[in-house]
Amino acid sequence: MLKLPGLIDPHVHLREPGATHKEDFDSGTCAALAGGVTMVLVMPNTQPPIFDAETLNIALTAAQQKARCDYAQYLGAGPDNADIVPVLAHKAAGLKMYLDSTFGELRLDDMTLWKPHFEKYPKEYPIVVHAESRSMAAAILFAAIYNRPIHIAHISLREEVLLIKAAKERGIKVTCEVCPHHLLLTSPLPQGEGPGVRGEGRLEVRPRLATQKDVDALWENLDIIDCFATDHAPHTLEEKDSANPPPGFPGLETLLPLLLTAVDLQRLTLDDVIQKSVINPGKIFNLPEQHETWIEVDEDAEYEIRAAEMFTRCGWTPFEGWKVKGKVRKVVLRGRTAFEDGKILVEPGFGKNIRLLEGKL
């Protein structure tokens, strides 16, 4: 049995408030524990989005009642809340900025709206940006101008990882994450043509699945990539197979088996997994250590991934039927056995907001 620290996933969507038929703090944190993840950082693009004291309170109240693993909630950057979010920073995972097209209250139409957030959000808490391709270059320029750290979510392209490499070499404070699906899946379609065009809704994800050349560049530059993140973004099968499929994959329960399989294939080392799923997210997001917390993994267990055995409410996975090696057997969180042999053993509300517990975990 292999013993590892509890994993930290810095990028999950738990769909609460607003879309709890897809997931909520209960089902999503059960999925986390089953995947060996003991701390999740939760994205703010819910309905309503989490962008002020009132909406943060809605999310944190739901989490306090339902979460079974530890968590922190991101705030979303909007056009009008640059003076509001810094006051809430100590209660939040960080500030999420959607710099490519998005909808509703978190829309930042032009770069003049980025400026006050870069100026005012406290530097000891991270700004995480969804910024693809040239928007990413603009975000890195902002990090340089305002001399503050940014973390780039879910990189997927060769041009992106090479740009981040160059920025790091110049001393710009940029870190980044990659998702297993961008390391393991490629788009079956010509570049620029999204799966939705041909109705293959289950492959819809943002950033889109890229080419083999991009995937190869990510693997070749793995030392530039700071974190693994799932971008766990559940939608039901009915929604994925509809005429208008929303983008996103579930990922919490497949992260570690896929990574351990890559270790078995010698594409990664176990140290890479610990660095990018525990140590680096801890540093980048200024997270407290979780005491008496570990996971036990049967590293020789070989099996096929099955959505039917998962805790996520969405009922499917893009990795259905994949053969993997390495199964989470037991998760101990703050001294309690939280998961063992397929069963969740802690009650809703056992999970804690790490920002309100710092120093006490």
The contact set with Zn ion (CB under 5 A) reads 231
Q: Distance between CA 138 and CA 134 in Å, rounded?
A: 6
Residues in the chain, overall count: 361
Residue type, 248: G
Task: Please say which residue, 41 or 273, places its beta carbon nearer to Zn ion.
Answer: 41
Task: Please say which residue, 44 or 257, places its beta carbon nearer to Zn ion.
Answer: 44
The phi-psi region of residue 60 (left if phi > 0; otherwise alpha if psi is between -120 and 50; otherwise beta) is alpha
Cβ atoms of residues 8 and 277 within 8 Å: yes
Cβ atoms of residues 87 and 70 within 8 Å: no
Strand bridging mode 75-76 / 343-344 = unpaired
Within 198-315, strands assigned E span 227-228, 294-304
Task: Please say which residue, 177 or 231, places its beta carbon nearer to Zn ion.
Answer: 231
CB-closest chain residue to Zn ion = 231
The least distance separating Zn ion from the CB of residue 13, rounded to whole angstroms, comes to: 6
Within 48-94, strands assigned E span 70-73, 75-76
The least distance separating Zn ion from the CB of residue 131, rounded to whole angstroms, comes to: 12
Q: Is the backbone peptide bond immediately before 48 cis, with ω within 30 degrees of 0?
A: yes
The least distance separating Zn ion from the CB of residue 154, rounded to whole angstroms, comes to: 7
The least distance separating Zn ion from the CB of residue 29, rounded to whole angstroms, comes to: 17
Task: Please say which residue, 132 or 231, places its beta carbon nearer to Zn ion.
Answer: 231
Residue 151 buriedness (CB in 10 A; 0-12 / 13-18 / 19+): buried
The least distance separating Zn ion from the CB of residue 100, rounded to whole angstroms, comes to: 11
Task: Please say which residue, 23 or 231, places its beta carbon nearer to Zn ion.
Answer: 231
Task: Please say which residue, 37 or 297, places its beta carbon nearer to Zn ion.
Answer: 37
Task: Please say which residue, 160 or 231, places its beta carbon nearer to Zn ion.
Answer: 231
The least distance separating Zn ion from the CB of residue 71, rounded to whole angstroms, comes to: 15
Task: Please say which residue, 74 or 118, places its beta carbon nearer to Zn ion.
Answer: 74
Cβ atoms of residues 66 and 60 within 8 Å: no
Cβ atoms of residues 53 and 24 within 8 Å: no
The least distance separating Zn ion from the CB of residue 83, rounded to whole angstroms, comes to: 25
Q: Residue 104's closest CA among 23, 21, 194, 44?
A: 44
Task: Please say which residue, 231 or 253, places its beta carbon nearer to Zn ion.
Answer: 231
Cβ atoms of residues 63 and 23 within 8 Å: no
The least distance separating Zn ion from the CB of residue 169, rounded to whole angstroms, comes to: 27
The least distance separating Zn ion from the CB of residue 292, rounded to whole angstroms, comes to: 30
Within the chain, strands assigned E span 2-4, 7-12, 37-42, 70-73, 75-76, 95-98, 127-130, 150-152, 174-178, 227-228, 294-304, 323-333, 336-340, 343-344
Cβ atoms of residues 60 and 29 within 8 Å: no
Q: Distance between CA 305 and CA 258 in Å, rounded?
A: 10
